[in-house]
Structure 1
Amino acid sequence: MGRTVDQEVHAAFVEFRAKEDDKCLSVQCIYCQQIRAKNTSRQKQHLLECPGLRGHPNAPQPQQAAPGPNGIGPANGYSATPNGPAATGPGAGPGTAAGTLPAANGPMMSNGVNPHPNAIQTPLQNMTNRPPLPTPGAPPAPAGSSAAPTAQQRPHATPKSTKSRASTSNLPAPPLDDVHAAFVEFRAKEEDKCLSVQCIYCQQVRAKNTSRQRQHLLECPTYLNVMKDSIPANNLLHTFPEGDIARSLQIPVPTLELDFRMSIKLNPKVTAGQSLWGQRDWISFVGGQWAGRWGKGIVLPGGQDSQIVVKELATSIKANYMLQTADEPPAYIVVKSNGWLTGAKDVLEKLNDPNIADTINPSTYKYRINLSLETGDERYAFVNTLMWVGSCCRRGQEVIFDAFRIN
């Protein structure tokens, strides 16, 4: 009996792999040499629109075929010998001479893209060792026969059905913009309606499909290595072992945003002397002011800073004070800060002298604090769960600092 429609479709395409380790097959139409991902439904549709079939004298044409010896005509409406005499070379179809299929490095497409730059074998070479489909009514080929398959006997290897393998990567699914950036789009021929894409990391070619492109990236070794290298923790002097989940997690990087500036006037410091941890100094606040993105107001008198001066005059700072907003009625916000004032000993000595502290460049020492805010006023309740870091400047009996919100 005649071949099925699927067999006719498969006979019109040469199957090959762009690279030996590719999981997905590609196919090339024997009539127009267009390359696409293997998909029977799309291959059928392609044959209905194939420019190489238009007016082709030897192409299979739908017709009312004469019934065979048993009175039954071909089931699919094509003649039993659709492609005429056997082609002259292995795997060569009618109107397709051996040598017109892609070379080892693949043909250049009309847009200059080479769809198979790393191909190991041509489709023609891949065909030489595959078993042919039997011709209806023909005896089986003798063992060891090296006869070239005819057009009716075009080899067709159906890969074993496998469930799509889940990604083994712990990286998050790449965003749409990254998916598009990872693939080069091209058309095998200018008149093609469907685009093909090529992965810029491993050069694999496939039909354009965003979901499958995203899944491909999660299984592409080169892409995964590039992404792992982009994780800041993997570029430190010491890193987690290869394969550890902590090595492949992409964690958001916080950013800093200037939120407010504060100026605090200080009373002269009172020294309590050497304690168990160092020299204890006590500084109370006269008051001050603050202004920023979400409000402004004053620093209430009565705040205090408890400092410990240690080796080389480095100073540990722990301060508590209260802000009052300019609203009516005002809101009250408690501030807790701690940090360190460090630098060269001679610079810190000058900084502790109120008479010359104003002349010291803030970039010659490091005065850094972290802050937390707390309030029961609903208008400013958002500050309760935020964090800030401050960069400070000491000016005699005054401290001025910028507070940066950690986002």
Structure 2
Amino acid sequence: MPSKLDASSFAPMPTRRRVLFAAAAAGVGTAHAADEPAPPLTTTTATIPMAVPSTEVVYESVVDLAPTVQLGMSPLGQRRMVPITGGTFEGPRLRGIVIPGGADRQLVRRDGSVALDAIYELQTDDGVIISVRNRVLSRRPKDAPAYVFSNIELTAPEGRYGWLNDFVYVGTLNSLRPQRAAVVIRAFRVV
């Protein structure tokens, strides 16, 4: 089981894009005071204040993987599937195991980017099953930093984990290969 987590352990590495976005969100380099709303993107939306989303950590999972199964070329690119064989997850309000049996269907696009669509289940330490659909886009452009972010859908039964049904989630994905046939997925709630 991963060690105890807090939001500070997930601070992203600063990139030029993040620094510029943070500066724009903070009003740095503009004529606006810090307590004024951000300027509108268009004159049509001038009366609508811009809300900049933030995130909170929900969990970190280590998902174990079987060898990749090649599914053949399609008009859009190379298809493949990676079976999910287990793993663990832990966050501030939940923890448990990744149930074996899910899979990550992947499309290696002709431009070299990889679109992933993983569907699997988590089981909390008190026996509740949470369904996960994680859609990831992985791009590694030659002249820019790698981009590996996801849109995560969580579906939980009503009750103790019902709050998971009420938010939008984004995530990151990092490979643990070659040390381990697994990936680390960090899920964040958009607030």
- Shorter-chain TM-score tier: 0.7 to 0.9
Give the whole-Å Cα distance in 1 for the aligned partners of 2:36 and 2:70.
Answer: 50
For residues 308 and 286 of structure 1, the distance between their equivalents in structure 2, rounded to whole angstroms, comes to 20
Which residue of structure 2 aligns with residue 386 of structure 1? 167
CA distance 1:302–1:231, shift in 2 (3 Å)? same
Give the equivalent residue in structure 2 for 1:339.
136
Q: 1:240 aligns with which of 38, 42, 53?
A: 42
Deviation at 1:271, TM superposition (A): 1.0
Q: Report what 2:93 is aligned to.
A: 294
Task: Report matched runs for 1:318-357 at 5 Å.
Answer: 318-327=117-126, 330-344=127-141
Q: Is the Cα contact below 8 Å between 2:174 and 2:183 reproduced in 1?
A: yes
Deviation at 1:250, TM superposition (A): 1.4
- What amino acid is the match of 2:185? F
Is 1:279 the counterpart of 2:78? The answer is: yes
Per the alignment, residue 62 of structure 1 pairs with none
Residues in 2 aligned to 1:333 and 1:308: alpha-carbon distance in whole angstroms: 25
Q: CA deviation at 1:380?
A: 0.8
Within-5 A mapping of 1:229-268: 230-232=36-38, 234=40, 239-241=41-43, 244=44, 246-268=45-67
Structure (1/2) with the larger helix percentage: 1
Q: Check whether the contact 1:269–1:281 (CA below 8 A) recurs between aligned residues.
A: yes
Q: CA deviation at 1:377?
A: 3.9
Question: Contact (CA 8 Å) 1:280, 1:307: kept in 2 or not?
Answer: yes
Secondary structure at 2:46's aligned position in 1? helix
Q: CA deviation at 1:335?
A: 0.4
For residues 299 and 305 of structure 1, what CA distance do their matches in structure 2 show? 13
Residue 190 of structure 2: aligned partner = 406
Q: C-alpha distance in 2, partners of 1:392/1:232? A: 31
Q: C-alpha separation between the residues in 2 aligned to 1:232 and 1:277?
A: 40
Is the CA contact 1:314–1:340 (under 8 Å) kept in the aligned structure 2? yes
The separation in 2 between residues aligned to 1:270 and 1:233, in whole angstroms, is 49
Q: Counterpart of 1:381 in structure 2: which amino acid?
A: G
- Please give the root-mean-square deviation of Cα atoms over the aligned residues, in Å: 2.3
Q: What is the deviation of 1:265?
A: 0.5
For structure 2, list consecutive stretches of 5 or more residues without a partner in the other structure: 1-30
Q: Displacement of 1:341 after TM fit?
A: 1.1
TM-score (structure 1 length as normaliser): 0.36
Alpha-carbon separation, structure 2, partners of 1:252 and 1:366: 24
State how 1:77-226 maps to structure 2 within 5 Å. Answer: none
Number of matched pairs: 156
The structure whose residues are more often strand, as a share, is 2
1:183 alignment partner in structure 2:
none
Q: Could you tell me how far apart the structure 1 residues matched to 2:51 and 2:139 are?
A: 30
Deviation of 1:388 (Å) = 1.6
**TM-score, normalising length: structure 2:** 0.74
1:395 matched residue in structure 2: 176
Q: Distance in 1 between matches of 2:68 and 2:134?
A: 18
Give the superposition deviation at 1:256.
Answer: 1.0
Equivalent of 2:102, from 299, 303, 318?
303
Offset of residue 257 of structure 1: 1.4
